[in-house]
């Protein structure tokens, strides 16, 4: 399996969806409802590319063919994402996972610029350990260069650190690892214009 970078072609429209792994149980006696959140929530994306021609058309055809269905993976972003937090871009902070074994909906990180209000803000994306997450609330960095980042979906795999250097990507574009969810196809109109619909899901085992 190889992970390829998706071509730098902007889609005509994008649908980004968090598919949650929750279950609902309803009592047959009282109709009381209980819900249970489980690991394994993932991102699903549908991208539409209308009337591509020339180089863009050929590049998209070749890329989708190269994936060979679900054999290979691709790095994808949310094309509508906008960085909102004040975490610096140039030069960027060396933001890393602060400790191994983290789970749940908060990621503790170190390497942030100290004492920044709104270091990351709700709606920002981060990625680490091949997992893509959205920041769910504004968070501030501390005087000791740490930051507790509230995220969704919850961490799927307990965090690992390699000499304390498990990097966190917060710069746009932030990429996740995805695989096609169906076969690749395209429709062609006179004048050799082709339209593509690409449906993909996050690879939870990446």
Tens digit of each residue's pLDDT (9 = 90 or more) over 20-51: 876 666 767 677 777 766 677 899 999 999 99
Residues 6+ apart with CB under 8 A from 205: none
- The answer, yes or no, to whether the previous bond of 119 is cis (omega within 30 of 0) is no
Q: pLDDT tier at 161 (50, 70, 90 boundaries)? A: confident
Cα–chain center distance at 121: 16
Helix (H, G, I), strand (E, B) or coil at 24: strand
Give Cα separations from 30 to 15, 34, 85, 107, 156 (angstroms). 38, 12, 46, 38, 34
The arrangement of secondary structure in 82-172, i.e. its CATH architecture, is Beta Barrel (2.40)
Tokens standing for residue 170: 């917060």
| CATH topology assigned to domain 3-79+176-202 | Phosphorylase Kinase; domain 1 (3.30.200)
Q: pTM (2 decimals)?
A: 0.87
Domain boundaries, the chain: 3-79+176-202, 82-172
Q: Which of 68, 86, 45 shows the shortest CA–CA distance to 175?
A: 45
Cβ contact 159:166 at 8 Å: yes
Sheet holding 104-110, edge to edge: 96-97, 104-110, 146-155, 131-135, 125-128
Cβ contact 201:21 at 8 Å: no
The average pLDDT across 140-157 equals: 95
Model confidence at 70: pLDDT above 70 = yes
Provide the percentage of residues in the chain whose pLDDT is more than 70. Answer: 92
Buried b (16+ CB within 10 A) or exposed e, 154-179: bbbeebeeeeeebebebbeebbbbbb
pLDDT score for 69: 92
């Amino acid at each position: 399996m190889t992970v390829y970078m998706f071509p730098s072609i902007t889609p005509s429209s994008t649908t980004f969806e968090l598919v949650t792994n929750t279950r609902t149980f309803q009592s047959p006696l009282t109709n009381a409802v209980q819900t249970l959140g489980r690991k394994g929530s993932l991102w699903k994306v549908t991208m539409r590319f209308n009337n591509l021609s020339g180089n863009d058309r050929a590049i998209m055809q070749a890329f989708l063919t190269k994936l060979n269905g679900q054999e290979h993976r691709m790095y994808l972003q949310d094309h509508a994402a906008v960085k909102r937090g004040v975490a610096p871009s140039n030069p960027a902070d060396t933001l890393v996972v602060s400790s191994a074994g983290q789970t749940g909906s908060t990621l503790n990180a170190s390497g942030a610029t100290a004492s920044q209000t709104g270091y990351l803000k709700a709606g920002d994306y981060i990625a680490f350990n091949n997992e893509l997450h959205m920041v769910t609330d504004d968070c501030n960095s501390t005087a000791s260069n740490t930051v507790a980042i509230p995220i969704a979906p919850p961490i799927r795999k307990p965090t690992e650190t390699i000499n304390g250097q498990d990097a966190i990507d917060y710069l746009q574009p932030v990429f996740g690892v995805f695989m096609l969810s169906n076969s690749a196809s395209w429709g062609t109109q006179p004048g050799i214009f082709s339209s593509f619909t690409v449906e993909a899901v996050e690879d939870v085992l990446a």
